Chain A
C-alpha cells in the first residue's frame, strides 16, 4: 500500500487542520466478476486510524462500499508538537504505517 498524506508541517496551537490521505488499494468488493466470470474475492482495507498525542483522534471503518484507492479527509486540532501516525489495516491484518511530524507553535500574541 502506497500512501499520500497531506498535513501542514507547522501550525498554531488551537488551529483545526485538514488532513487528507490517499492510499493505493484495489478494494476488491467481492461482488465483481473477472473476464471468465469468476467472482473476484473480497480484499479490502478494513480500518484506518490516526493517532496523535498518544491517542486515537480519528478512526474509520472501511467496507466494500468504499471506493478503490480510498481518499479520506478529516480534521484534527493542533495542540502540541509531536508525531502524527497514520495506520491502515487490511482484512488480512496487514498493517501499513506512516508517521508525519507536526510542529505546533504558540500564536504570536
Chain B
C-alpha cells in the first residue's frame, strides 16, 4: 500500500509540474470562443481531478476559488471546460455572496484523457483560471446496455 502511495504521489507531483499554466491549442480556442477577447489570468482557481480515472463515466471534480466571498468581493460564476468531450462546455455554477465559500464538488464524465479547465468570473468582471489533467483508462469490454 505504501509503495503505491509513493509512486502515485510522484505521478501527481510530476503531472502538476507538466500542466501548462497557460491554456494551449484547441483548449485555448474552446475557452476563448466562449469569452471572446477577454483576458483570463491563470491563478486563484484550484481545480482538482484525479490524475488517473479508471472509468470516464464518473470522475471526481473539486474546484475552489480564492475569494473572501463578501458583498464587495465574490465569485459570480465558475465554468468547467473539457475540450475532448462531445460537449466541451461541461457545466457552470453561479454563486453569490451568501455562498460563504467558493468551492464546488461534483462528478463529471470524461470521454478521453484531457486537460480540464475551470474559469471563474469575479464580481469585478475579471476572469481567472485553473486546470487539471486526468488520464482516462479504457475498460476491458464496453458492454451494451441490458
Tell yes or no: A108 within 8 A of B by CB: no
Contact call A57/B87, Cβ cutoff below 8 A: no
Tell yes or no: B113 within 8 A of A by CB: no
Contact call A67/B100, Cβ cutoff below 8 A: no
Contact call A64/B87, Cβ cutoff below 8 A: yes
Q: How far is the CA of A55 from the CA of B100 in the complex (A)?
A: 15
Tell yes or no: A40 within 8 A of B by CB: yes
Q: How far is the CA of A5 from the CA of B131 in the complex (A)?
A: 29
A interface size (C-beta, 8 A): 35
Contact call B100/A53, Cβ cutoff below 8 A: no
Give chain B's interface residue range (CB within 8 Å of chain A): 35 or more
Contact call A75/B144, Cβ cutoff below 8 A: no
Contact call B99/A74, Cβ cutoff below 8 A: yes
Q: How far is the CA of A53 from the CA of B96 in the complex (A)?
A: 12
Contact (A66, B106) CB under 8 Å given A17-B100, A58-B95: yes
Tell yes or no: A32 within 8 A of B by CB: yes
Q: How far is the CA of A77 from the CA of B58 in the complex (A)?
A: 29
Contact call A72/B94, Cβ cutoff below 8 A: no
Contacts of A34 in B (CB 8 A): 144-145
Tell yes or no: B8 within 8 A of A by CB: no
Contacts of A53 in B (CB 8 A): 98
Q: How far is the CA of A71 from the CA of B58 in the complex (A)?
A: 10
Tell yes or no: A81 within 8 A of B by CB: no
Nearest to A35 among chain B residues (CB) is B144
Tell yes or no: B138 within 8 A of A by CB: no
Contact call A72/B90, Cβ cutoff below 8 A: no
A-B contact pairs, 16 of them (CB 8 A): A35-B146, A36-B144, A59-B94, A62-B91, A65-B87, A65-B110, A67-B109, A70-B107, A71-B105, A72-B105, A72-B106, A73-B106, A74-B95, A74-B105, A75-B99, A77-B69
